[in-house]
C-alpha cells in the first residue's frame, strides 16, 4: 500500500474547499437562505436528491461489501472484471444508460422514480466500494471468529467482534464518499433526470446560469448548505464513530 | 461544489498566467479609421467563441469563413465551441478579477446573454460605428435584441423565424393555429412535446402560446398572471410525450425524438434548419414546415467583442467580413447552414440580390409568403424570466 506523504494534497484540497466556501459565503446573505427554505421547488429538489443519494449509497455499499466478502476468499483474476466500470467516467455510464435502458418500459430514463439514475450510480459505485473494502476483508483475521465460537458467543456477536468492528469504519468511509458524490453530482442527473423536480446539482446549476442571474446568490447558498451538511457528517464520523470502533476493537468496552 | 472549486482553481491559474501582452487601448481602436484597423489586423490570430452544437454552422466557419479571412486579410481564425451562458460567466469572472487581456476576440450572442453582458459592461464598445458593411444591415434587425436596445454594442449577423416542422407521413392535416394544435395533440397522445423552458427554443414555444392566447394588454406587462398560457399548457400536458412527466432538456433532444419518429413535430428558430437534416437523412424525408396563424417570433442573432479582447482589430475585420453580402449569401445557402440574412436586400447590388433570390429552397422550408402578417416581435427579456420561474411550478410540477 502507498505510504507517501499526503500533506501537500491535503493542503491543496483543503485550501480549495475553504476558499470556495469563503467565496460562496461572501456572495450570500441571510435573506438568500430564508428564501431558499420558502422555495417549494428547492425543497422538493433536495428531497428527491436525498432519496437518490441515500438509496444509491445504501445499495452500492451493501452489494459492494457483500461482493468484497465473497471475493476475499477467492484467488484469481475474476474480481478484476469489476474494475471495468471504474475506467468509464460517470458521463459515459449515463450515456450507456440512455443507449441500453431508454427503451425498457420500467427503467427507462426520464422515469419519475429516478431508477435510471440510481442504476447508473450502482454500476459505477459498487466496484468502487468493492475495491475499497477488498483489502480490509483480506486482512481480517478469522481466528477472532473461531475464538468467539470457542467462547460460545451468539452468531451475531461473533460477526460483530470478528468482522464488524474492523469493517464499520471503512464501510462508513466508503458510504460517505459515495453519498457526498451522488448528492450534488451534475452530469448523470443532467442527462437522465426528469424535468420536475430536478436533482439539486442540476437545479443549482440552473439557478447559477439562467436568466438575469439574479438568483445566483441562491445557488451559492445551496453549495454552502450542502458543504455544511457534509462537513457535519464528517465531524460526526471522525469524532464519535472512529474512537468508538478503535476502543471496541482493542477490547476496552464491554 | 466540485464545479465551483474547479472554476476557482481555474481562475487562479488564469490569474497566475497573466503575462500576455496587453490589448490595444479601446478608445484608440474604435477612434481610428477602418483602413488602419485593417492594417493592424494583418497577420494576427482571431479567436471566435461560439455555440458549437450544429455541424453545419461549424463547417461554415471552418471551411468557408476561415479560408476567406486568411486570403483577404491574412487573419488566422480559430473557432472555439462553448455554451454562450458559460462564456458570459467566464467574462464576468475575468471582469471581477481585473483581467484586462482575455482570450476571446469575437462572441456570438443574443437574447438574455446580451442583456446580461450589456448590464455588466462585458462588451468592448460601439463597434458597429466603425464597420463599413453596417450600411447593408437591416436597421430594424439591428435596433434591438429581444427588447434590449443594442446601442451599437453588437452587429446583427442573422435573422430567423420560429418555425414548426412536422412529418407529413404521420400528420395528414397539419393544425393551422394553437387551438387546432391542441386538438391534434389530444387525438394523437404521446406524439408532441416541446423542450423545457430553460432551453432557448422551449422558452420561445411558451412565448408563442402567450401570443396566441393572451390579450394585447397582458402581453405588455411581464408582471401579469399568464393564466391562459398556463391553462393551455396544462391542457396539453397529459397528452404530451411521456404524458408530460418529463420534457426534452434541449432542442437537440427533441430533434433526436423527431428523427427517431417518437414525436411528429419539432420546432426552432430558423425556418431553414430542416433542409440539411433531411438531406443527411437524419430527419424524415417528408418533413414539412408549419407557420401557425397565431404568429411566428422573429429572432436576430448578433456578433460582438468582449471588453478584454486581445485582438480587437482582428475581431472588427472578421465581423465586417461576416457582414459582407458574399459571406451572408454563403450562410443563407443551405449547403452549410441556411441562416436568414441580417442584410436589407434593397441596399445590395442587383446581381447580389438576384443571387439571394436564386438560392434553391427545399420542401421543408416555408415560402416567404408563409410569414405574411404573422411575424411577431420578440417579447421583453423579462418574459423569459417569468416563464423560467413560473413554468416549473405551474406546468411541469
Q: What is the pLDDT of residue A104?
A: 65
**Substitution target from A25, A111, A114, A211 for chain B, most B beta carbons within 10 A:** A211
Q: What is the pLDDT of residue A2?
A: 58
Q: Do B1 and A194 touch (CB under 8 A)?
A: no
- In this prediction, residues B246-262 reach a mean pLDDT of 91
Distances (CA, A) of B233 to A161, A164, B168, B223, B253: 61, 55, 24, 19, 20
pLDDT band at A84 (very low <50, low <70, confident <90, very high): confident
Q: Do B393 and A40 touch (CB under 8 A)?
A: yes
Closest partner residue to B396 (CB to CB) among A196, A205, A223 is A196
**Is the model's pLDDT at A103 over the cut of 80?**
no
CB B369 within 8 A of CB B290: no
In SS3 terms, chain B reads as CHHHHHHHHHHHHHHHCCCCCCCCCHHHHHHCCHHHHHHHHCCCEEEEEECCCCHHHHHHHHHHHHHHHHHHHCCEEEEEECCHHHHHHHHHHHHHCCCCCCCCCEEEECHHHHHHHHHCCCECCCHHHHCHHHHHECHHHHHEECCEECCCCEEEEEEEEEEEEEECCCCCCCCCCHHHHHHHHHHCCCCCCCCCCCCHHHHHHHHHHHHHHCCCCHHHCCCCCCHHHHHHHHHHHHHCHHHHCCCCCCHHHHHHHHHHCCCCEEEEECCCCHHHHHHCCCCCCCEEEECCCCCEEEEEEEEECECCCCCHHHHHHHHHHHCCHHHHHHHHCCCCCCCCECECCCCCCHHHHHHHHHCCCCCCCCCHHHHCCCEECCCCHHHHHHHHHHHHHHHHC
Cβ contacts (< 8 Å) between A223 and chain B: which residues? 1, 4
Give the Cα separation of A26 and B23 in Å (integer). 31
Give the Cα separation of B300 and B336 in Å (integer). 19
pTM tops 0.90, yes or no: no
- In this prediction, residues B119-137 reach a mean pLDDT of 96
Cβ contacts (< 8 Å) between B113 and chain A: which residues? none
Q: Do B396 and A209 touch (CB under 8 A)?
A: no
Picking from B288, B296, B118, the residue whose alpha carbon sits closest to that of residue B204 is B296
Q: Return mean pLDDT, chain B.
A: 91
Q: Do A211 and B384 touch (CB under 8 A)?
A: yes
* CA gyration radius, chain B: 22
Q: Please state whether the peptide bond connecting residue B56 to the residue before it is cis, i.e. omega within 30 degrees of 0.
A: no
Which residue of A lies nearest to B89 if distances are taken between CA atoms? A209
Give the Cα separation of B340 and B329 in Å (integer). 9
Q: Does residue B249 belong to the interface with chain A, where contact is any CB pair within 8 Å?
A: yes
CB B110 within 8 A of CB B300: yes
Cβ contacts (< 8 Å) between B198 and chain A: which residues? 206, 210
* pLDDT tens-digit map of A46-72: 999 999 999 999 999 999 999 999 988
Q: Do B392 and A19 touch (CB under 8 A)?
A: no
Q: Does residue A16 belong to the interface with chain B, where contact is any CB pair within 8 Å?
A: yes
**Is the model's pLDDT at B7 over the cut of 60?**
no
Give Cα B352 to chain centroid, integer Å: 25
Give the Cα separation of A194 and A171 in Å (integer). 31
Note the ipTM here: 0.74
Q: A198-207, A239-248, B321-330, B350-359: which range is least confident on average?
A: A239-248
Give Cα A189 to chain centroid, integer Å: 15
Q: Does residue A99 belong to the interface with chain B, where contact is any CB pair within 8 Å?
A: no
**Substitution target from A15, A53, A195, A215 for chain B, most B beta carbons within 10 A:** A195
Which residue of A lies nearest to B199 if distances are taken between CA atoms? A210
Q: A100-114, B259-273, B339-353: which range is least confident on average?
A: A100-114
Give Cα B395 to chain centroid, integer Å: 26
Interface of A with B in 36-95 (CB under 8 A): 40-41
Cβ contacts (< 8 Å) between A186 and chain B: which residues? 2-3
Distance from CA of B25 to the nearest CA of A (A): 29
**How would you class A17 by CB atoms within 10 Å of its CB: exposed for 0-12, middle for 13-18, buried for 19 or more?**
middle
Q: Does residue A223 belong to the interface with chain B, where contact is any CB pair within 8 Å?
A: yes
Q: What is the pLDDT of residue B71?
A: 97
Distances (CA, A) of A161 to A139, A144, A170, A240, A250: 15, 7, 15, 19, 10
Quote the cell numbers at residue B22: 496587453
Cβ contacts (< 8 Å) between A16 and chain B: which residues? 5, 8-9
Quote the cell numbers at residue A193: 433526470
Closest partner residue to B198 (CB to CB) among A23, A112, A206 is A206
Q: Do B4 and A20 touch (CB under 8 A)?
A: yes
Quote the cell numbers at residue B118: 450589456
Q: Do A209 and B89 touch (CB under 8 A)?
A: yes
Q: Are strands B154-167 and B287-290 parallel, antiparallel or unpaired?
A: antiparallel
Give the Cα separation of B26 and A41 in Å (integer). 45
Which residue of B lies nearest to A114 if distances are taken between CA atoms? B246
Closest partner residue to A223 (CB to CB) among B1, B9, B89 is B1
CA B85, B90, B93, B99 torsion: positive or negative? negative
Other Cβ atoms within 10 Å of A70 Cβ, number: 12
In SS3 terms, B319-361 reads as HHHHCCHHHHHHHHCCCCCCCCECECCCCCCHHHHHHHHHCCC
Distance from CA of B193 to the nearest CA of A (A): 13
**Is the model's pLDDT at B336 over the cut of 60?**
yes
pLDDT band at A107 (very low <50, low <70, confident <90, very high): low
**Is the model's pLDDT at B2 over the cut of 60?**
no
Other Cβ atoms within 10 Å of B181 Cβ, number: 22
Q: Do B249 and A195 touch (CB under 8 A)?
A: yes
Picking from B2, B4, B23, B198, the residue whose alpha carbon sits closest to that of residue B93 is B4
CB-based contacts of A18, cutoff 8 Å, min separation 6: none
Amino acid at each position: 500500500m502507498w505510504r507517501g506523504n499526503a500533506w501537500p494534497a491535503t493542503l491543496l484540497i483543503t485550501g480549495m474547499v475553504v476558499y470556495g466556501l469563503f467565496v460562496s459565503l461572501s456572495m450570500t446573505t441571510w435573506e438568500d437562505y430564508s428564501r431558499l427554505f420558502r422555495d417549494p421547488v428547492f425543497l422538493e429538489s433536495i428531497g428527491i436528491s436525498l432519496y437518490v443519494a441515500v438509496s444509491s449509497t445504501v445499495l452500492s455499499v451493501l452489494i459492494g461489501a457483500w461482493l468484497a466478502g465473497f471475493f476475499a476468499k477467492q484467488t484469481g483474476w475474476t474480481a478484476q472484471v469489476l474494475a471495468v466500470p471504474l475506467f468509464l467516467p460517470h458521463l459515459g455510464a449515463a450515456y450507456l444508460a440512455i443507449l441500453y435502458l431508454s427503451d425498457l418500459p420500467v427503467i427507462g430514463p426520464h422515469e419519475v422514480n429516478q431508477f435510471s439514475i440510481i442504476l447508473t450510480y450502482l454500476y459505477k459505485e459498487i466496484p468502487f466500494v468493492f475495491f475499497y473494502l477488498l483489502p480490509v476483508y483480506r486482512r481480517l483475521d478469522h481466528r477472532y471468529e473461531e475464538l468467539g465460537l470457542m467462547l460460545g458467543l451468539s452468531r451475531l456477536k461473533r460477526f460483530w467482534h470478528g468482522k464488524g468492528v474492523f469493517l464499520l469504519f471503512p464501510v462508513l468511509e466508503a458510504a460517505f464518499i459515495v453519498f457526498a458524490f451522488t448528492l450534488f453530482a451534475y452530469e448523470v442527473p443532467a442527462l437522465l433526470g426528469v424535468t420536475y423536480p430536478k436533482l439539486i446539482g442540476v437545479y443549482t446549476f440552473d439557478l447559477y446560469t439562467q436568466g438575469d442571474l439574479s438568483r445566483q446568490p441562491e445557488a451559492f447558498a445551496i453549495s454552502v448548505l450542502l458543504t455544511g451538511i457534509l462537513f457535519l457528517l464528517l465531524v460526526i464520523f471522525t469524532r464519535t464513530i472512529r474512537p468508538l470502533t478503535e476502543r471496541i476493537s482493542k477490547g476496552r468496552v464491554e | 461544489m466540485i464545479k465551483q472549486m474547479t472554476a476557482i482553481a481555474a481562475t487562479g491559474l488564469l490569474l497566475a498566467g497573466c503575462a500576455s501582452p496587453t490589448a490595444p487601448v479601446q478608445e484608440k481602436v474604435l477612434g481610428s479609421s477602418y483602413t488602419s484597423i485593417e492594417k493592424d489586423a494583418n497577420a494576427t490570430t482571431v479567436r471566435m467563441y461560439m455555440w458549437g452544437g450544429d455541424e453545419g454552422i461549424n463547417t461554415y466557419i471552418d471551411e468557408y469563413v476561415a479560408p476567406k479571412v486568411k486570403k483577404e486579410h491574412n487573419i488566422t481564425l480559430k473557432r472555439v465551441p462553448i455554451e454562450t451562458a458559460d462564456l458570459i460567466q467566464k467574462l464576468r469572472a475575468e471582469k471581477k478579477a481585473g483581467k484586462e487581456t482575455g482570450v476571446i476576440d469575437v462572441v456570438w450572442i443574443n437574447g438574455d446573454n446580451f442583456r446580461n453582458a450589456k448590464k455588466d459592461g462585458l462588451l468592448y464598445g460601439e463597434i458597429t460605428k466603425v464597420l463599413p458593411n453596417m450600411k447593408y444591415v437591416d436597421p430594424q434587425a439591428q435596433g434591438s435584441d429581444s427588447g434590449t436596445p443594442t446601442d451599437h454594442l453588437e452587429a446583427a449577423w442573422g435573422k430567423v423565424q420560429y418555425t414548426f416542422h412536422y412529418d407529413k407521413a404521420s400528420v395528414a392535416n397539419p393544425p393551422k393555429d394553437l387551438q387546432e394544435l391542441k386538438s391534434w395533440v389530444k387525438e394523437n397522445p404521446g406524439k408532441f412535446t416541446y423542450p423545457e423552458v430553460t432551453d432557448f427554443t422551449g422558452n420561445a414555444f411558451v412565448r408563442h402560446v402567450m401570443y396566441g392566447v393572451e390579450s394585447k394588454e397582458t402581453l405588455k406587462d411581464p408582471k401579469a398572471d399568464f393564466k391562459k398560457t398556463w391553462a393551455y399548457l396544462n391542457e396539453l400536458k397529459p397528452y404530451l410525450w411521456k404524458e408530460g412527466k418529463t420534457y426534452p432538456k434541449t432542442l437537440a433532444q427533441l430533434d433526436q425524438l423527431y428523427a427517431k419518429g417518437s414525436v411528429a413535430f419539432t420546432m426552432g428558430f430558423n425556418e431553414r434548419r430542416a433542409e440539411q437534416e433531411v438531406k443527411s437523412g437524419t430527419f424524415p424525408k417528408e418533413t414539412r414546415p408549419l407557420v401557425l396563424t397565431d404568429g411566428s417570433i422573429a429572432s436576430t442573432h448578433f456578433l460582438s467583442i468582449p471588453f478584454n479582447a486581445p485582438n480587437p482589430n482582428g475581431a472588427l475585420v472578421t465581423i465586417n467580413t461576416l457582414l459582407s453580402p458574399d459571406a451572408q449569401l454563403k450562410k443563407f445557402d443551405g449547403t452549410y447552414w441556411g441562416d436568414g440574412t441580417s442584410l436589407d436586400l434593397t441596399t445590395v447590388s442587383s446581381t447580389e440580390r438576384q443571387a439571394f433570390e436564386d438560392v434553391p429552397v427545399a420542401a421543408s422550408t416555408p415560402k416567404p409568403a408563409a410569414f405574411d402578417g404573422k411575424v411577431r416581435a420578440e417579447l421583453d427579456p423579462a418574459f423569459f424570466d417569468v416563464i423560467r420561474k413560473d413554468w416549473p411550478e405551474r406546468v411541469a410540477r
